[in-house]
Amino acid sequence: MHKKTEHSIDIREMCSLPFAFDRNRVWRVYQGGKLIDALQHKQHPADSNFPEEWIASSVKACNPQRGGMTEGISGAILDGELFSFQELVNQYPEELLGRRHISSFGRNTAFLTKLLDSAIRLPIQAHPDPAAARRFYHSAFGKTEAWIILGTRKIDGEEPYLMLGFNELLNRDTFKAEAISGNMPKSLQMLHKHPVKPGDVLMINGGTPHAIGPGVFLLEIMEPTDFVVQPELFCGEQKLTDKDRFGNLSPEQALNVFHLKSTNRKDVWNDALITPSILHDDENATLTMLIDRSKAKFFGAMKLSIKKSWHYINDESIFYAGIVLSGSMIIATNSKKLHLKKSDTFFMPSSVKKSEFSGNAEIIFACPPMI
């Protein structure tokens, strides 16, 4: 990415203003991404091995199949020049993240958000909870995640669904034996299968067994890691290595990431489901709380629907990552204007105390953990 030159812009000043991100499609072993293509105005939307768009990312994707290629780190656009978002965070943490956030989490946003559109059922998997992250990965972050369902589609006539939580058929010995072999026909019957629709908001705690089914398009917010245990031998038609399957752990360690307990179908869904609440609504804008960061612990999310204008007041001195889902808008800050349209992603630094949003657009903000 671009390095600062003698005649470059004042980067510190630009890090105190809202800025857009470059496209950041990330390679995965599975097929998908058609609905992301459509959102990003591609002429011929199609599924491919780029089913995800990572936003405000300081996380490197774990893709050993790519021969050591570095991908996943977001590119920040400052006055037309492209910079590594991680390098900016390292160099200008107070402007971007704020002093209080840095004192708790260091030079790290403490969350990652992404668009994900799967054309296949993803493997049965689980991510580490905080205890497993410390024990097995020596990491301060696990991978609790949230799903905000943006859209759905039928694939091969199948209605979209999510798999979440073990049901009453759970047999721990059978699950472990199948997981080690990689062939898991009986284990697939051990998970609850839930229909899903746009507007659903779900919190998936670390350790919870789950799988995203085909035809689900979502915005995912998570702790900032790429840790996953996915013991099935194949992801679609792609055969997985032991490293892919067990996340650099031994099989025995990896299977300890799963919370091996059966759950009632209705209870596991209701425990995960979050009911959004309206914070503000008038003729100019509607602000909806999707995930309350004061309750969710790991991150938060809001949706803003602008009809005319909205005044952003940053009383908490926190930062946000955003994506424009529809329409277009302008963010005006200190006489500077950032023009954004459908599919654009952007960052609102902690040092921005107030801005005016104007236009006609729908935006989702991802928010850091409460300190």
Give the distance, in angstroms, between the CA of residue 251 and the centroid of all CA atoms in the same chain.
26
HSE-CB at 112 with a 13 A cutoff on CA atoms is: 27
Q: Is the domain of 238 the same as that of 328?
A: no
Tokens 């990552």 locate to 321
User: Are 220 and 352 within one domain?
Assistant: no
- pLDDT given at position 226: 83
> Tell me, what CATH number does 289's domain have?
2.60.120.10
Model confidence band, residue 4 (pLDDT cutoffs 50, 70, 90) = very low
Lowest mean pLDDT among 182-186, 233-237, 320-324, 338-342: 233-237
* 331 lies in the same domain as 233: no
Query: Which residues are CB-neighbours of 315 under 8 A, at least 6 positions away?
Result: none
Tell me if 220 sits within 8 A of 203, measured CB to CB. Answer: no
Residue whose C-alpha is closest to residue 147's, from 131, 129, 167, 163? 163
* Residue written as token pair 């996380």: 59
Taking the model in full, what pTM does it have?
0.94
Predicted local confidence at residue 7, as pLDDT: 42
Q: Which residue has the tokens 């203003």?
A: 17
> Of 272, 305, 330, which closes a domain?
272
Residue among 29, 47, 27 at smallest CA distance from 37: 47
> Which SS3 state, helix, strand or coil, does residue 259 take?
coil
Q: Say yes or no: 180 and 323 in one domain.
A: no
Q: Which domain covers residue 359, as residue numbers?
A: 277-367
Sequence letter at residue 216? V
Residues 361 and 332 reside in one and the same domain: yes
Amino acid in the structure at residue 224? P
Start-to-end CA distance of the chain, whole Å, equals 32
Residue 333: other Cβ atoms inside 10 A: 18
Tokens encoding 132: 């497993």
pLDDT in tens, 341-360: 999 999 999 999 999 999 99
pLDDT at 1: 55
Instruction: Establish if 6 belongs to a structural domain.
Output: no
3 state SS of 44? coil
Question: Is position 147 within any domain?
Answer: yes
